[in-house]
Amino acid sequence: MGEPMLFGLIVFLTVAFATHAIVGVALARGFADVGPRAGLWLGVVFGLAPDADFLFPAAWGWPFVHRGITHSPLFALSVIAGTYAISRSRAVAIAAGLAIGSHLAIDSLSPMAIPWLFPLRATWSPGLDVHGVIATTLLWSASVGVLAWRTDDLAAIEQWLDRSGGVRRRQSE
């Protein structure tokens, strides 16, 4: 792989990972009754969880491949059930479910799709460019909108920026 291609792949994956994390956090914070900290880490961890399949060794083969078992609704349901069994918290299970569900929903629209009927490999997708500029802008805007509408996270970030800006100003005086 030439350097420009590798660079392009790194940018693509960074944007894709960031989108899954941001959407996961927005849904977990906005629609599950968990605190800001829990919403943040549940959103990031479960928003990214299916892509842990990038770490499967190539030798393993189906279903332990990218967009294999970890991108199936069956896997998502098992993760939600497992999260509930461990946390004994409906809110935590809902946050995890929203985050992992949003990942599968986004990926299911992409050309590579997801194995809906896992363990069957049959699949279908409208083949949308879900990590392209337009879709990324829409998903990020919607996430910021959910955070603004459902939480006071944006106000907290603004305050934090004000405060650290103020600290910096005072130090330089």
- For residue 121, what are its two tokens? 């490999």
Lay out the site mask for Zn ion across 11-50 (x = CB under 5 A, - = otherwise): ---------------------------------------x
CB closer to Zn ion, 50 vs 101: 50
CB 138, CB 106: distance < 8 Å: no
Q: Is 53 left (phi over 0), alpha (psi -120 to 50) or beta?
A: alpha
Taking the complex as a whole, how short is the minimal distance between the CB of residue 144 and Zn ion, in angstroms?
22
Taking the complex as a whole, how short is the minimal distance between the CB of residue 60 and Zn ion, in angstroms?
17
| Cα 169 from Cα 173, distance rounded (Å) | 6
CB closer to Zn ion, 17 vs 84: 17
CB closer to Zn ion, 107 vs 153: 107
Of the candidates 25, 34, 76, 107, which one interacts with Zn ion according to CB under 5 A?
Answer: 107
For residue 22, give Cα distances in angstroms to 84, 95, 149, 173.
Answer: 23, 13, 15, 37
Under the criterion CB under 5 A, does residue 153 sit at the interface with Zn ion?
A: no
Residues 49-68 close enough to bind Zn ion by CB under 5 A: 50-51
| Cα 46 from Cα 25, distance rounded (Å) | 9
Q: Which residues would be at the binding site for Zn ion (CB under 5 A)?
A: 50-51, 107
